[in-house]
Amino acid sequence: MNPNKQIIPRAMVMNEQTIRFDFGPETSREIYHTIQQFCQVVESDRNHLLEEVVPSNKTVTVFFRKELVNPSVIIEQLLKKWVNRTDSILSVNTRTIEIPVCYDTMFSEDIPRICNHTGLTREEVIAIHTGTSYKVYMIGFLPGFPYLGELPEVLHVPRLKKPRLSVPKGTVGIGGTQTGIYPIESPGGWNIIGRTPLDLYCLKRIEPFLIRAGDQLKFRSISLETFNEMKEELAREPEMIMQFVKEGL
């Protein structure tokens, strides 16, 4: 994508109180950075009608407090603000979160399948997965479930044909072009490669959700012993999880 190209999203009225702005079919860090900037522009002049601005990897959905009498006027105003934006409101604050992951065989039942599909060794799969920095494009599917990109192409493996009925919380998986972490126990069809001792979603914390859209994630391999120690420590002191979060640009 040309970084100097002006991207004008396509606006769609979803209902009487909702407008969605579509930035096209491409998914990339550049597009998501543009989406973050668009959210800032919309929120920079928050009026009494604006309820919430929700980004995803390709769209921004704007919710309003009441029915819009003339949504086309709102669309025109927002797009005009976007085209005439100034650099002073376009700084994007990014947090970096380190996610410790145990890739022990008891937590990585699908790595042999991934090795057969890719021709990589177990060590190479782990090294590639931990050697990449991932952008959180959106939160969805489950409370706190992060959709991360971009997974290195060599690890692009199809999801399971028959999803599992139960995947433990903290499970790290890959599927297609993405990698993600299950914040709670749930059904799932991603390839299981490890588990983190971190609770992505915990009502005992001041901030129940650890990860936000726009965060940068980095996986770090840990031993089974370290996994168990971290899990016990974080169960006693849930707020200690914030040591894995670093604020910055």
pLDDT tens readout for residues 107-150: 999 999 999 999 999 999 999 999 999 988 888 778 788 888 78
- Is 153 inside a domain boundary? yes
Size (the chain), residues = 249
**Containing domain of residue 109, as a range?**
96-246
Same domain, 62 and 141: no
pLDDT tens, residue by residue, 23-38: 988 777 788 788 888 9
CATH of the domain at 20: 3.30.1360.40
Q: What is the pLDDT of residue 29?
A: 74
Q: pLDDT under 50 in the chain at which residues?
A: 1-4
Q: What is the pLDDT of residue 89?
A: 53
End residue of a domain, out of 89, 112, 147: 89
pTM listed for this prediction: 0.73
**CA 151, CA 169: separation in Å to the nearest integer?**
21
CATH of the domain at 145: 2.40.100.10
Same domain, 129 and 219: yes
**CA 8, CA 28: separation in Å to the nearest integer?**
16
Count the domains in the chain.
Answer: 2
Instruction: Please report which helix (H) or strand (E) contains residue 20, including its range.
Output: strand 18-22
- Is 1 inside a domain boundary? no
**CA 112, CA 186: separation in Å to the nearest integer?**
22
Long-range pairs, 45-49, Cβ under 8 A, ≥24: 45/81, 49/74
Q: What is the pLDDT of residue 64?
A: 92
Same domain, 82 and 114: no
End residue of a domain, out of 62, 89, 116: 89
Peptide bond into 150 cis (omega under 30): yes
Q: What is the pLDDT of residue 105?
A: 97
